[in-house]
Amino acid sequence: MGRLFGTDGVRGIANADLTAELALGLSVAAAHVLAEAGTFAGHRPVAVVGRDPRASGEFLEAAVVAGLASAGVDVLRVGVLPTPAVAYLTGALGADLGVMLSASHNAMPDNGIKFLARGGHKLDDVLEDRIEDVYAEHRTGAPWNRPTGAGVGRVKDYDEGFDQYVAHLIGVLPNRLDGLKIVLDEAHGAASHVSPEAFSRAGAQVITIGAQPDGLNINDGCGSTHLELLKAAVVEHGADFGIAHDGDADRCLAVDHAGAEVDGDQILAILALSLRERGALRENTVVGTVMSNLGFKLAMEREGIQLVQTAVGDRYVLESMKEHGYALGGEQSGHVIVLDHATTGDGTLTGLLLAARVAATKRPLAELAEVMVRLPQVLINVPDVDKSRVASTPELTAAVAEAEAELGSTGRVLLRPSGTEPLVRVMVEAADIDHAHAVAGRLADVVKSTLG
């Protein structure tokens, strides 16, 4: 059996890769590992369990709850809520463990299990590895030590979680949103009720699309991975702008009044200036990744804000933020982390803070987004190559150096081996899209000829 945990929990096709038996077994293993680590010492353990609206989440939630309760963990079942809501409630309720059932922006047949530590933070990799090992040991026949009688976990629905989370979001806002007309695309996902409620309570006039989850339509042609419907709706309704979430609402992308996309880098740039103005941008620093658009880097340099770049993945952004105490970080995909108010990316919070900036400045989102100019970015995946030799092939190194010299300060080259596939990603940014395509194509050819 290969390793189960990836960069964002355990994910796969529900009822094929991710079965009820696996969900139950991992939950029991998680309870035993956390008990072994001393997390439950001296008290009766409590877990918060939530899910997105996928049909498979219904049986997987039942399996997770059964596994935890059978291991002596009391369960607060919060129902359909965003991943950041489950993280927030895990911390706010003083729970020992949080569990979210979601496959985020993936298509409906997929699902996933994400375990959260006390406080609502991502579980340490060491503990995830230990959970997987313990699960594997018992899967082969070693019996669990199970409580009986009053020792079994009790399960109850925690309906107050919805209002508690919405109140938290409203409490974070520096100002109200009165006078704004906003279209929200909820991707038929976990924020379909939470997000419109929060924006409405904050004073905005809200129009919703993609907010009728039926268990089967999550992310289906809508949400942050499909902005076409949102762009059309914003223009049709004459809205000030639109916000799009993904299935578990840990991401946020936007479109301006004319239907032009405002991506995660632009949102980060806008929020960085807002936080600095309020004295909340600690160390005058924002965290991005190596895939952050060069236009974002140039904008931050111009504004006198330091940009720290990590490897691709929100986990690396979060690690840097926590290690150095930075307040703001994120990715081009719209996964934005505001660490003073959330332990993970929170799409609803991000959208609210963006809207608050529009309301406070009385400037259109399109104008605020002009803080940075997105340089054209071309990405080519070169498959079936020896990605381990990317940094050690002289001919390739020379080709990259030549391309960088050609682009100068107005462009950038990045060669990145895939973490999961036998391919190399060639990314080129340039002031002109045709130039970017030409340089990327030449480099892709060199990658294929030298590493193929």
pLDDT in tens, 76-116: 999 999 999 999 999 999 999 999 999 999 999 999 999 99
Average pLDDT of the chain to the nearest whole number: 95
pLDDT at position 410: 81
User: Looking at 68-77, 123-132, 177-186, 251-260, which range is the least confident one?
Assistant: 123-132
In this prediction, residues 426-438 reach a mean pLDDT of 92
> CA–CA separation, 363 vs 222, rounded Å?
27
Q: Binning pLDDT at 50, 70 and 90, where does residue 389 land?
A: confident
pLDDT-above-70 percentage for the chain: 99
CB-based contact 407:430 (threshold 8 Å): yes
* Residue 302 clears pLDDT 60, i.e. is over it: yes
CB-CB neighbours of 361 under 10 Å = 15
pLDDT at 214: 98
Query: Which whole number is the average pLDDT over 180-189?
Result: 98
Q: Please give the average per-residue pLDDT across 24-38, as a whole number.
A: 96
Cα(144)–Cα(125) distance, integer angstroms: 23
Confirm or deny that 250 is annotated as ligand binding: yes
- Please, are residues 219 and 108 in contact by the beta-carbon 8 Å criterion? yes
Q: Which domains does the chain have, with CATH numbers?
A: 5-159 (3.40.120.10), 163-371 (3.40.120.10), 377-451 (3.30.310.50)
Residue 388 is predicted with a pLDDT of 86
**Distance separating the N- and C-terminal Cα atoms of the chain:** 29
Q: Is 246 annotated as a binding residue?
A: yes
pLDDT of 2 higher than 70: no
Which residues sit opposite 100 in a β-bridge?
50, 114
Please state whether beta strands 377-383 and 328-330 pair in parallel, antiparallel, or not at all (unpaired). unpaired
| pLDDT over 90 (residue 392) | no
Query: Is it the case that residue 4 has pLDDT exceeding 60?
Result: yes
- The 10s digit of each residue's pLDDT in 254-266 is 999 999 999 999 9
- As a whole number, mean pLDDT of residues 8-13 equals 92
pTM of the model: 0.91
Indicate whether 379 pLDDT > 80: yes
- Is 409 annotated in a binding site? The answer is no
435 has a pLDDT exceeding 80: yes
**Please, which residues have CB within 8 angstroms of residue 86's CB and are 6 or more apart in sequence?**
48, 49, 50, 78, 98, 99, 100, 116, 120
Residue tagged active-site, from 27, 56, 102, 104: 104
**Would the pLDDT of 188 be above 80?**
yes
Q: Which two tokens stand for residue 129?
A: 């590895």
Amino acid letter at 56? S
- Nearest 5°: phi and psi at 280? -110, 5
User: What is the model's pLDDT at position 391?
Assistant: 85
Percent of the chain with pLDDT over 90: 86
Residue 320 bears catalytic tag: no
Task: State the Cα–Cα distance between residues 439 and 426, nearest whole angstrom.
Answer: 10
Q: What is the pLDDT of residue 313?
A: 83
Distances (CA, A) of 127 to 2, 37, 41, 240, 308: 17, 9, 16, 45, 28
Rounded Cα–Cα distance for residues 252 and 345 (Å): 9
Cα separation of 112 and 86, whole Å? Answer: 14
Dump pLDDT digits (tens) for 216-231: 999 999 999 999 999 9
